[in-house]
Structure 1
Amino acid sequence: MNQSQETPAWKMNGFLILLLDLVLLVAGAYLIIMENLLGVLFVLVFLISLPGFTLIQPNEARVLLFFGKYVGSVCEDGLFWTNPFTLKKKVSLRVRNFQSDKLKVNDADGNPVLIGAVIVWRVVDSAKALLDVENYGSFVAVQSETAIRTITGRYPYDRQDEKDISLRTSPEEVTDNLRLELQQRLKIAGVEVLEARISHLAYAPEIAQAMLRRQQAQAIIAARKQIVEGAMSMVEMTLSHLEKQGVVQLDEERKASMANNLMVALVSERESQPVINTGTLYT
């Protein structure tokens, strides 16, 4: 497929041509009144030149087609005069938003998730946008949803290891990859993707409760692991401190017993009840 490339179109200052047209009209009217056939020619030239005027607003462009052939684009705002026999098609260069629907997609682990995204884009090549795709607005919408599905399938919804990229824990990396994926797809339409952000992310309703329980279990396991590691460190520090200070001399059996009691007191979910040893009563 031959791709179009935006090129500047030939144009002239519209106000200057408007002034010349007014002179032609006045001169033509005067000559016609004077019964001079040259006046008819002047008026005819005036009428032919009128379609050549085009008024362009800021952030707009005109794509010029001369008998079906692309001859250039006018992207500057103002009043211009171009070839009056060209067809002038308007293309907006303004920034636009596209918000996708909530799509149900399987993540990298095969779990169905609901995901939506907001895409910020604009046209940067008017020729490609108008001539290389049927409707660039619809093209952006379809390709955006396709890119969202592709990116969602590459990553899992969640990961316990913070170093691994996931949809929930690594939003910046995921959206950067989404923007790059989408930019590659929309390059053919002369569209620049300015930003891509995930606007909605959740497990699909049919597995949401099960996944919530799994997340809660994983969180409890991670918390208990941290508690046990902290308790072991405190026990080791306590025994080491007692030995260095010479407060009490403990054999291996008593060390094990004290470590066991400290671990139970530190790790237990209930408050420990202290037992005071007052010595042994002999009768």
Structure 2
Amino acid sequence: MTEHKAWKLNGFIALLLAMLLTAAVVYLFISLHIVAGIMLTILVVIALTGITVVQPNESKVITFFGKYIGSIRESGIWLKVPFSIHRKVSLRVSNFNSKTLKVNDVEGNPVEIAAVVVFRVIDSAKALFDVDNYEEFVEIQSETALRHVATKYPYDDFEEGGYSLRSNADEVARELARELQERLAVAGVEVIEARLTHLAYATEIASAMLQRQQANAIIAARQKIVEGAVGMAQMAIAQLEREGIVELDEERKVAMINNLMVAIVSDRGAQPILNTGSIY
């Protein structure tokens, strides 16, 4: 089912014609042309059954004896096919806030997640005839897509280049919007935006996972500190030798590197010991 325009006529013109026909009916009855007056009255009533009003950002889906004959999107008063039935579909932008779902991430950790989906109907025929209830369809498919996307990523990942739900919210939101659009296209719905509104570890593992996060963060920070310390030690020895300040043998280089590494890597301030010389 695909939306197309329905036949329509300006409603004000139709009302004007109805008023003229009503005046003619009155004249026929006065002049005792009863049969002609009755027939014309029936014609006026039939025409008035086709009058409909379309509000801004609204679509009227027209069916005639069970057959879809088109939709009216232009706001105003219109004359449609008489005896046809119209159903209203809102074209306004809508929000859907999902419930907080408990799902397992790619590593099997239970997490709580929720999202908001911004959408609108772009095909009123699909929204009415291809699904039973498009608003309920959006709700169910949004939660299904959110569960599926959440299982593809870990909650957190300290490794470089790895995507995670917490650190890559924009990428996860784009993935969620893309999957939602694929699921909701059958209902004539366009997904404008999808964003995570809640993300947390499940309460039963929140404390343990917080300790794990802290441990991973400390390890990652230590790796950076060690890399920097090695570079600083190499730079210090190279600069001393290049400028001829002091000549160091291999044993003293090892001692100097050891002192520098201890001073830089230590999580506390270094306590220097000054060598003032020997009494002998």
> Which TM class, normalised by the smaller chain length?
over 0.9
Greater than 3 Å deviation, 4+ residue runs: none
2:54 paired residue number = 56
> Which digits, 9 at most, give the CA deviation of each residue in 1:170-194, with x for residues without a partner?
1122111111111111111111111
Task: Say which SS state the counterpart of residue 206 (structure 1) adopts.
Answer: coil
- Aligned-partner residue type, residue 54 of structure 1: T
1:68 paired residue number = 66
- Aligned-partner residue type, residue 263 of structure 2: A
Structure 1: where are the runs of 5+ without partners? none
1:133 paired residue number = 131
Match runs of 1:199-210 below 5 Å: 199-210=197-208
CA distance in 2, matches of 1:113, 1:27: 74
- Aligned-partner residue type, residue 131 of structure 2: V
CA distance in 2, matches of 1:14, 1:128: 27
- Aligned-partner residue type, residue 216 of structure 2: Q
Q: Is the 8 A contact 1:162 1:169 kept in 2?
A: no
- Following superposition, the deviation at residue 58 of structure 1 comes to 0.8
Q: Percent identity among equivalent residues?
A: 56
TM-score (norm 2): 0.96
1:108 aligns with 2:102: no
- Aligned-partner residue type, residue 242 of structure 1: L
1:30 paired residue number = 27
CA 1:164–1:270 in 2, change beyond 3 Å: closer, same or farther?
Answer: closer
Task: Say which SS state the counterpart of residue 271 (structure 1) adopts.
Answer: coil
- Following superposition, the deviation at residue 32 of structure 1 comes to 0.7
Match runs of 1:159-174 below 5 Å: 159-174=157-172
Q: Is the 8 A contact 2:110 2:201 kept in 1?
A: yes
Task: Say which SS state the counterpart of residue 205 (structure 1) adopts.
Answer: coil
**How many aligned positions are there?**
279
CA distance in 2, matches of 1:155, 1:73: 42
CA distance in 1, matches of 2:70, 2:272: 89
- Following superposition, the deviation at residue 259 of structure 1 comes to 1.7
- Following superposition, the deviation at residue 249 of structure 1 comes to 2.4
Q: Is the 8 A contact 2:158 2:220 kept in 1?
A: no
- Following superposition, the deviation at residue 274 of structure 1 comes to 2.2
Match runs of 1:82-231 below 5 Å: 82-231=80-229
1:255 paired residue number = 253
1:9 aligns with 2:2: no
Over the aligned positions, Cα root-mean-square deviation in angstroms equals 1.2
1:81 aligns with 2:79: yes
CA 1:162–1:267 in 2, change beyond 3 Å: closer, same or farther?
Answer: closer
